[in-house]
Amino acid sequence: MGFFSKILAKLGIGSDKVAAAPAPTTIPGATGAPPPKPVALVDVVAQLEQRAAANPQKLSWRTSIVDLLKLLDIDSSFAARKELATELGCPADLMGDSAKMNMWLHKTVLAQIAANGGNVPKELLD
């Protein structure tokens, strides 16, 4: 399991926690392909806000990759973040500057969560 897979699993994305859409039924005499299956969205903001409210630390998950990982009970050490950045294809020039890497990593993680079925608001993706 890759590092990013752990994040998705903690959010219930791509797991059995998300209800599967019912299989399309075939109507006799109907033509054309069956309608596409809807993607079940996971309300990431609600989950993270609930975790933040229950956490004794004041964590800024909306702006900090470290705080986001802490809320998900995932290793947020520099080595772990570097591993995640490498897995997600962080440009080499950003890897040498931890602040730039962290900013890139935060935006990329949220974008990847959204791409995998997480309902992430547009303002967090800009």
- Higher per-residue pLDDT: 117 or 26: 117
**Element (H or E) spanning 108, and its range?**
helix 98-115
Q: How far apart are CA 60 and CA 49, in angstroms?
A: 10
Q: What predicted TM-score, i.e. pTM, was given to this entire model? A: 0.77
- For position 126, what pLDDT does the model report? 79
- Residue-wise pLDDT for 38-88, tens only, equals 556 789 999 999 999 999 999 999 999 999 999 999 999 999 999 999 999
Long-range contacts of 78-83 (CB under 8 A, 24+ apart): 80/3, 81/105, 83/3
